[in-house]
Amino acid sequence: MRAARLYGERDLRVERIESPEPGPGEALIRVHACGVCPSDLRSYLGIGGGYGREYPWTPGHEWSGVVEALGEGAEDQGLRVGDRVVADWRWVCGTCYQCRRGVFNYCENLRRGVRGGFAEYGIAPASQLRVIPPGVSFEEASFCEPLACVINAHSYTEIPLGGDVVIVGAGPIGLMHTQLARSRGGRVIVSDPIAARLEKARELGAHDVVDASAADPVERVRELTDDRGADTVIVAVGAPEPIRQGLEMAAINGWVNLFAGTYPRAELPLDPNLIHYRQLRVTGSHDFTPHHFTTAMRLIQFGIVRVEPLISHRFGLDSVREAFETTASRAGLKSVVLPADTKEE
């Protein structure tokens, strides 16, 4: 099969490698869609990710496809050849300290049994697969993973009914936060320096937008909230300045969620009184639990969060480098690679 293989910084090649075989309890899946995630991009740019893997390896964890073959016992999970499925790469053990207290996203024995991504075929334990409901496309289903991360953040962050909510950053993640905050009953303000992204935010339900390239976002949010600031701020950008702005635009008793990791590592000089005297509740959130993944599929299925409008670019497998470079340039929104729909170039 053809598969993308990462050999080092910005060195991603499409090569012919041995097709995988499903072992006991596993499914072989023909990959139809795989999204480029910011963490894939960090691996590609050599600024994180990889998680100790040795080169070369195949990136991509937001993927969906069709079951092509089943290993021994995989049918016991209710799967059939021909099923349309999406893989949840976070294979948690269910018995460690964190799993037993329900914090599955910090499983101490996380297994890497899901292999796939930017390749023609992937392998997943049958237990890690969800059947895609009719009416949901492969491309849409590939958003289950990032949307699950967004849902996890919302489970730690209150959205008061009718409260002012600011989403800092209108990339694909920020635009999912926008829709979820809106459906949870918030009045949503989206801040970003890119005009096309603000336009998309309006299209997806933002009540107001702030052009961060033209005005001080903190001041603009105060103007839009009768000088109170926002009840909830979700910072979907990993950089000290937007995080500082996020904290400064929060109202008394407000919530601030730091959704994105900051790469490269950075320090944030901060007046602690900002949090103390405004009685802020600052939350972090990272990854997701199996139920968040299930919930993501439901939000997509019922149109509660629309993900199709977040796709700006589609590529064949042989153009996978272009998909990464497009994401790196911040042109457009989400890039999706479609290995099954494209012939060898």
Helices and strands (H and E) in the chain: how many: 11, 15
- What is the secondary structure of 3-23 as a DSSP string? EEEEEETTEEEEEE-PPP---
Token pair, residue 234, equals 């979700």
Strand, helix or coil at 82?
A: coil
Alpha helices of 170-263 — where are they, by DSSP H? 172-183, 195-203, 217-224, 240-248
- We find the least distance from the C-beta atom of residue 161 to Zn ion, in angstroms, to be 30
Distance, CA of 161 to CA of 284 (rounded, Å)? 22
Q: Which is nearer to Zn ion, 1 or 96 (CB)?
A: 96
The only residue of 96, 274, 282, 340 in contact with Zn ion, by rule CB under 5 A: 96
Of the ranges 109-117, 131-139, 166-174, 283-291, which one interacts with Zn ion (CB under 5 A)? Answer: 109-117
For residue 190, which amino acid is it? V
Which stretch in 32-40, 186-194, 288-296, 303-311 sits in contact with Zn ion by CB under 5 A? 32-40
Rule CB under 5 A: choose which of 99, 123, 148, 168 binds Zn ion: 99
Among 28, 33, 37, 305, binds Zn ion (CB under 5 A): 37
107 binds Zn ion (CB under 5 A): yes
Under the binding rule (CB under 5 A), the answer on residue 70 touching Zn ion is no
Q: Find tokens 């949307």 and name the residue.
A: 147
Residue whose CB is less far from Zn ion, 49 or 217: 49
Q: Between 118 and 147, how does the x/- string for binding to Zn ion read (CB under 5 A)? A: ---------------------------xx-
Number of residues that bind Zn ion (CB under 5 A): 10
Q: Which stretch binds Zn ion (CB under 5 A): 13-21, 89-97, 130-138, 254-262?
A: 89-97
- The vertex-178 CA angle with 210 and 293, nearest 5°, equals 155
Decide whether 187 or 334 has the Cβ nearer to Zn ion: 334
Return the SS3 of 334: strand
Q: Which of 17, 79, 93, 340 binds Zn ion (CB under 5 A)?
A: 93
Compute the least distance from the CB of residue 147 to Zn ion, in Å: 10
Closer CB to Zn ion, residue 17 or residue 96?
96
Rama region for 31: left / alpha / beta (φ>0; ψ in -120 to 50; rest): beta
With beta carbons less than 8 A apart as the criterion, state whether 164 and 189 touch. yes
CA–CA gap between residue 197 and residue 200 (Å, rounded) = 5
* 311 in contact with Zn ion (CB under 5 A): no
Please report, as ranges, the residues that interact with Zn ion according to CB under 5 A.
Answer: 37, 62, 92-93, 96, 99, 107, 109, 145-146
